[in-house]
């Protein structure tokens, strides 16, 4: 096959002396930063927990709080705090109910898919583990397929478990913080902000640090078996990304269906049918709606971004392991992708003090600025920090796909002679990371421009409600389409720069760059739903109007930053997907001279791949519609059968929240099966039948069309949401009359908002998963595909027709 790796490594091992960090430095930096991140996250949690949800609650952790909440449910407290705590408890119970049901399915999935992985990968050489760890004896032999299967499955389970734990922690802290935010808002907007922001940061730092630490431990552990055979090592490690991304499928798709079934159901039932406000405590679907915010926007978003981080790292590792120069440079150079993430955690941590201590929120007007400054400063600091970290890379690198193990760039002459040799690799890598970092920033802010009612686009959509719901929809769709221009242009530029300077490795680095400020992004993302729920709790527990105004101000900023977060999530998903596709193409080996897009198999696969996002969106949109209709029926049934509920007569029976939560839970888990299977099975079937060339086309097609659809769906939905809010706050004037709640314009705006719900929170973000999961599945099953007619599939298709 190829030249023995250890020999190559020895031949170039000395070329890396120029690295600033001496050998093994990563073994200090990565665990240290992870540990600091985890401790920091614990400290923030204690600070959030210190807020008392009720007079009789002693300062302390969740345990004591729960103790109180039980009392409160028993009727021992009936102050505002008690009421807030009671609602919080209902949300917590609902969220846990959903999560634990979901975990049962996840566990089943992990076992089943782990078994499939083991069988398909292990079967490549007939489950022969005979020459296990053959390296010392025979340096030429690759590790047996059985080893690959075993370690891939372990990595898969590790990734999945870490994602679950991170998501669970995030969800717990979010539901733990929402009543606290509402209550603290009584003391001032700054106090409320601190609680919400810190709770977000708990999730942000816990998720990134845990993800990094577990991945590093896995690599360390696996290397005991694989030695310096980085290629085989990282092929197995790719399972980690697969695990994270599989959980994201549940989180994003299942969670997305859950949250919008509840939201659309509550909207339609509350507003359209019974005529009571969405957050009215009598509406039985409200708690499900509040649970949904956490399920979708906290756990779902978190698992999505955890998946991106894991996959981007795996893609970089796999591609890097194909480069003899990089392999020769040793452990520290190989682990550069993890160092990028570590640097990001460090920078986000430092910058978080700006929001909490250095320049905190004092007035309502400060909130949005403080959040945006977080993002901007993290990006800037990370840019400054990255270059020294990247000096660990060898100066000259050969990064081409063809025959990587034979061609190296040890000398300046070799670099000059071969266009695939990168000279000044640290600087080139820096350009890639920086492109990703700042590209993400631009995408985020453009997304905000198109979805915030501070700017012209959303105001135009709001004004179009003058002629009714139809023009509102037309204008909103047009806005979403238009909003793809700049983000896609930025992505194209990032891809060009990255792949130009460092080939496919550069694309993976730019994805890591875009995810570099992930801890900050997640803090901001989680902040949104916490404030949203705080507002709901303030209304339901009948806190004074002034408090509701403060939570509204906090929430408004959260909407803005949620838009930024969505932009980030899509942009990074696109880069990650491209990096994984590149890693797949690199690994196949048979596509060394490139993938000719006009070859019969490739173009047909590109077409089908570009169709998949539409199929997937159709499934998820329809699911939300069906589940919402189910919810409406249940709410109607409760209003019909529970005496006094609709009329709000004092002492009326309580609405049955649990039933509504169950409808959303069941619907989300039932309805995610079809889209889930579509994403996981399509690449496997394509690879099995039509070969690796078709898989490459499928992935690229899905990415090309998915990124457009995701951006336009998310932004259209966000714009309608904020157009409605713009009308509600009385800013739309038609013919001299202010259009408020209840006006014809408002009704038209509500139609747009409801249509936008599944677009922006279900099908749009779920496309991130489609793009990434298909690619990582293909990468992990690569060896299996190559085992069938040398990657030409059962139908023996491929490039001969080319």
Compute CA distances 557 → 9, 458, 552, whole Å. 52, 16, 9
According to CB under 8 A, which one of 12, 181, 313, 581 is a site residue for a second copy?
A: 581
Nearer to a second copy, 366 or 693 (CB): 693
- Footprint (CB under 8 A) of a second copy, residues 328-357: none
Stretch that binds a second copy, among 465-473, 547-555, 668-676, 734-742 (CB under 8 A): 465-473
Tokens of 345: 């955690």
Nearer to a second copy, 50 or 492 (CB): 492
Under the criterion CB under 8 A, does residue 370 sit at the interface with a second copy?
A: no
Stretch that binds a second copy, among 142-150, 312-320, 599-607, 680-688 (CB under 8 A): 599-607
Nearer to a second copy, 61 or 625 (CB): 625
According to CB under 8 A, which one of 283, 348, 499, 517 is a site residue for a second copy?
A: 499
According to CB under 8 A, which one of 97, 481, 642, 740 is a site residue for a second copy?
A: 481
Residue with tokens 């797949």: 584
**Beta bridge partner(s), residue 734:** 737
According to CB under 8 A, which one of 598, 640, 735, 742 is a site residue for a second copy?
A: 598
**Beta bridge partner(s), residue 421:** 398
Distance (Å, whole) CA 694 – CA 797: 8
Stretch that binds a second copy, among 196-204, 210-218, 467-475, 521-529 (CB under 8 A): 467-475
Nearer to a second copy, 375 or 458 (CB): 458
Under the criterion CB under 8 A, does residue 510 sit at the interface with a second copy?
A: no
Stretch that binds a second copy, among 98-106, 377-385, 387-395, 624-632 (CB under 8 A): 624-632
Under the criterion CB under 8 A, does residue 450 sit at the interface with a second copy?
A: no
How many amino acids of this chain bind a second copy (CB under 8 A)?
A: 84
Distance (Å, whole) CA 791 – CA 91: 50
According to CB under 8 A, which one of 546, 593, 650, 742 is a site residue for a second copy?
A: 593
Under the criterion CB under 8 A, does residue 272 sit at the interface with a second copy?
A: yes
**Beta bridge partner(s), residue 398:** 421
Q: Which of 725, 357, 439, 713 is nearest to 557 (CA)?
A: 725
According to CB under 8 A, which one of 140, 496, 648, 653 is a site residue for a second copy?
A: 496
Least distance to a second copy from the beta carbon of 699, Å? Answer: 10
Compute CA distances 382 → 353, 374, 512, whole Å. 15, 12, 12
Compute CA distances 75 → 58, 281, 282, 644, whole Å. 18, 18, 19, 22
Number of Cβ within a 10 Å radius of residue 501: 22
The site string for a second copy over 410-429 (x = CB under 8 A, - otherwise) reads ---------x----------
Under the criterion CB under 8 A, does residue 617 sit at the interface with a second copy?
A: yes
Under the criterion CB under 8 A, does residue 238 sit at the interface with a second copy?
A: no
Q: Which of 256, 111, 366 is nearest to 671 (CA)?
A: 256
Stretch that binds a second copy, among 167-175, 361-369, 471-479, 651-659 (CB under 8 A): 471-479
Nearer to a second copy, 347 or 612 (CB): 612
Least distance to a second copy from the beta carbon of 653, Å? Answer: 25
Distance (Å, whole) CA 152 – CA 144: 12
Tokens of 201: 């940061």
According to CB under 8 A, which one of 286, 705, 714, 739 is a site residue for a second copy?
A: 705
Least distance to a second copy from the beta carbon of 734, Å? Answer: 12
Under the criterion CB under 8 A, does residue 504 sit at the interface with a second copy?
A: yes
Number of Cβ within a 10 Å radius of residue 565: 26
Nearer to a second copy, 391 or 694 (CB): 694
Distance (Å, whole) CA 756 – CA 462: 14
- Footprint (CB under 8 A) of a second copy, residues 289-308: none
**Beta bridge partner(s), residue 397:** 422
- Footprint (CB under 8 A) of a second copy, residues 740-769: 750-751, 754-755, 758-759
Under the criterion CB under 8 A, does residue 611 sit at the interface with a second copy?
A: yes
Tokens of 52: 């008392």
Residue 111 burial (10 A CB sphere; 0-12, 13-18, 19+): exposed
Least distance to a second copy from the beta carbon of 174, Å? Answer: 27
Using H for helix, E for strand and C for coil, what is the string for 473-537? HHHHHHHHHHCCHHHHHHHHHHHHHHHHHHHHHHHHHHHHHHCCCHHHHHHHHHHHHHHHHHHHH
- Footprint (CB under 8 A) of a second copy, residues 668-697: 696-697
Number of Cβ within a 10 Å radius of residue 215: 29
Under the criterion CB under 8 A, does residue 495 sit at the interface with a second copy?
A: yes
Under the criterion CB under 8 A, does residue 264 sit at the interface with a second copy?
A: yes
Task: Note whether 585 and 676 are within 8 A (CB).
Answer: no
Least distance to a second copy from the beta carbon of 400, Å? Answer: 9
Stretch that binds a second copy, among 87-95, 313-321, 376-384, 604-612 (CB under 8 A): 604-612
Under the criterion CB under 8 A, does residue 404 sit at the interface with a second copy?
A: no
Compute CA distances 695 → 121, 254, 312, 344, whole Å. 17, 26, 19, 33
Under the criterion CB under 8 A, does residue 43 sit at the interface with a second copy?
A: no
Query: Where is 397: in which H helix or E strand?
Result: strand 396-398
Tell me the backbone φ, ψ of residue 733, rounded to 5 degrees: -120, 120
Counting Cα atoms < 13 Å in the Cβ hemisphere of 36 gives: 14
- Close Cβ partners of 713 (under 8 Å, ≥ 6 residues apart): 480, 617, 759, 760, 763, 764, 767
Under the criterion CB under 8 A, does residue 601 sit at the interface with a second copy?
A: yes
Stretch that binds a second copy, among 19-27, 106-114, 230-238, 705-713 (CB under 8 A): 705-713
According to CB under 8 A, which one of 162, 166, 464, 523 is a site residue for a second copy?
A: 464
Counting Cα atoms < 13 Å in the Cβ hemisphere of 497 gives: 23
Under the criterion CB under 8 A, does residue 533 sit at the interface with a second copy?
A: no
Least distance to a second copy from the beta carbon of 303, Å? Answer: 24
According to CB under 8 A, which one of 388, 489, 544, 643 is a site residue for a second copy?
A: 489
According to CB under 8 A, which one of 65, 290, 313, 708 is a site residue for a second copy?
A: 708
According to CB under 8 A, which one of 118, 127, 225, 603 is a site residue for a second copy?
A: 603
Tokens of 211: 């993800």
Distance (Å, whole) CA 38 – CA 411: 43
Nearer to a second copy, 541 or 705 (CB): 705
Least distance to a second copy from the beta carbon of 474, Å? Answer: 5
Task: Note whether 765 and 569 are within 8 A (CB).
Answer: yes
According to CB under 8 A, which one of 11, 427, 629, 734 is a site residue for a second copy?
A: 629
Distance (Å, whole) CA 455 – CA 179: 32
Stretch that binds a second copy, among 301-309, 334-342, 377-385, 698-706 (CB under 8 A): 698-706
Distance (Å, whole) CA 83 – CA 532: 17
Distance (Å, whole) CA 692 – CA 114: 22
Residue with tokens 């769906």: 713
Stretch that binds a second copy, among 39-47, 242-250, 360-368, 588-596 (CB under 8 A): 588-596
- Close Cβ partners of 383 (under 8 Å, ≥ 6 residues apart): 434, 437, 438
Under the criterion CB under 8 A, does residue 592 sit at the interface with a second copy?
A: no
Under the criterion CB under 8 A, does residue 572 sit at the interface with a second copy?
A: no
Q: Which of 166, 129, 509 is nearest to 341 (CA)?
A: 509
Stretch that binds a second copy, among 227-235, 406-414, 545-553, 622-630 (CB under 8 A): 622-630
Under the criterion CB under 8 A, does residue 701 sit at the interface with a second copy?
A: yes
Least distance to a second copy from the beta carbon of 476, Å? Answer: 10
Under the criterion CB under 8 A, does residue 594 sit at the interface with a second copy?
A: yes
Under the criterion CB under 8 A, does residue 277 sit at the interface with a second copy?
A: no
Residue 65 burial (10 A CB sphere; 0-12, 13-18, 19+): buried
Tell me the backbone φ, ψ of residue 130, rounded to 5 degrees: -55, -50
């Amino acid at each position: 096959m190829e030249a023995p790796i250890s020999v190559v490594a020895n031949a170039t091992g000395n070329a890396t002396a120029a690295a600033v960090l001496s050998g093994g430095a990563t073994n200090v930096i990565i665990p240290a930063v992870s540990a600091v991140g985890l401790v920091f996250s614990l400290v923030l949690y204690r600070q959030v927990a210190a807020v008392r949800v009720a007079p009789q609650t002693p300062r302390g952790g969740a345990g004591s709080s729960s103790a109180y909440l039980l009392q409160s449910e028993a009727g021992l407290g009936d102050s505002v705090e008690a009421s807030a705590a009671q609602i919080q408890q209902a949300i917590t119970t609902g969220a846990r109910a959903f999560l634990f049901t979901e975990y049962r399915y996840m566990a089943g999935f992990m076992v089943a898919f782990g078994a499939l992985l083991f069988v398909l990968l292990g079967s490549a050489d007939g489950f022969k583990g005979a020459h296990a760890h053959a390296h010392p004896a025979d340096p030429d032999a690759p590790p047996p397929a059985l080893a690959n299967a075993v370690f891939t499955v372990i990595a898969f389970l590790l990734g999945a478990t870490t994602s679950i734990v991170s998501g669970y922690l995030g969800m717990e802290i979010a539901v733990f913080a929402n009543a606290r935010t509402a209550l603290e808002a009584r003391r001032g907007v700054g106090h409320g902000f601190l609680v919400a922001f810190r709770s977000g940061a708990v999730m942000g730092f816990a998720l990134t640090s845990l993800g990094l630490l577990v991945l590093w431990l896995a690599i360390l552990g696996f290397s005991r078996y694989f030695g310096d055979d980085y290629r085989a090592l990282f092929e197995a490690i790719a399972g980690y990304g697969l695990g994270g991304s599989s959980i994201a499928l549940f989180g994003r798709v299942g969670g997305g269906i859950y949250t919008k079934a509840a939201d659309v159901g509550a909207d339609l039932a509350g507003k359209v049918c019974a005529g009571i406000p969405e957050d009215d405590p009598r509406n039985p679907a409200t708690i499900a709606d509040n649970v949904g915010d956490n399920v979708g926007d906290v756990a779902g978003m978190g698992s999505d971004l955890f998946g991106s981080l894991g996959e981007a790292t795996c893609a970089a590792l796999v591609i890097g392991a194909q480069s003899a120069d990089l392999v020769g440079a040793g452990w520290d150079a190989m682990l550069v992708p993890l160092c990028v993430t570590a640097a990001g955690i460090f920078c986000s941590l430092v910058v978080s003090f700006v929001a909490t201590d250095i320049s905190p929120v004092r007035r309502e007007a400060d909130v949005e600025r403080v959040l945006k400054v977080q993002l901007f400063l993290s990006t800037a600091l990370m840019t400054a920090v990255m270059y020294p970290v990247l000096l660990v890379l060898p100066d000259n690198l050969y990064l081409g796909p063809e025959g990587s193990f034979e061609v190296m760039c040890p000398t300046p002459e070799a670099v000059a002679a071969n266009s695939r040799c990168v000279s000044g690799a640290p600087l080139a890598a820096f350009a890639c990371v920086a492109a990703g970092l700042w590209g993400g920033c631009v995408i985020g802010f453009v997304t905000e421009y198109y979805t915030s009612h501070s700017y012209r686009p959303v105001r135009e959509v709001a004004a179009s409600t003058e002629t009714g719901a139809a023009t509102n929809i037309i204008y909103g769709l047009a806005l979403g389409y238009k909003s793809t221009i700049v983000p896609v242009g930025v992505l194209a530029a990032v891809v060009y720069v990255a792949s130009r300077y460092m080939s496919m490795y550069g694309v993976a680095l730019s994805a890591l760059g875009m995810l570099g400020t992930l801890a900050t992004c997640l803090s901001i993302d989680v902040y949104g739903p916490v404030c949203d729920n705080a507002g709901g709790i303030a209304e339901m527990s009948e806190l004074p109007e002034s408090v509701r105004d403060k939570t509204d101000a906090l929430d408004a900023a959260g909407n803005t930053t949620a838009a930024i977060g969505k932009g980030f999530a899509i942009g990074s998903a696109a880069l990650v997907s491209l990096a994984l596709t590149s890693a797949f193409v690199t690994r196949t080996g048979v596509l060394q001279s490139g993938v000719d897009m006009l070859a019969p198999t490739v173009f047909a696969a590109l077409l089908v791949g570009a169709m998949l996002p539409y199929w997937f969106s159709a499934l998820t949109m329809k699911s939300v519609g069906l589940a919402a209709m189910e919810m409406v029926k249940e709410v109607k049934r409760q209003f019909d059968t529970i005496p006094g509920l609709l009329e709000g007569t004092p002492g009326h029976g309580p609405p049955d929240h649990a039933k509504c939560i169950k409808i959303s839970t069941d619907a989300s888990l039932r309805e995610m099966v079809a889209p889930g299977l579509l994403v996981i099975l399509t690449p496997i079937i394509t690879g099995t039948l039509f070969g690796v060339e078709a898989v490459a086309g499928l992935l690229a097609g899905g990415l090309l069309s998915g990124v457009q659809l995701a951006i336009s769906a998310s932004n259209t939905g966000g714009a309608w949401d904020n157009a409605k809010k713009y009308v509600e706050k009385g800013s739309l004037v038609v013919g001299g009359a202010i259009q408020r709640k209840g006006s014809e314009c408002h009704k038209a705006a509500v139609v747009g908002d409801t249509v936008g719900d599944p677009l922006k929170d279900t099908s749009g973000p779920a496309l991130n998963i489609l793009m990434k999961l298909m690619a990582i599945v293909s990468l992990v099953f690569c060896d299996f595909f190559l085992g069938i007619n040398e990657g030409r599939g059962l139908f023996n298709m491929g490039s001969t027709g080319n």
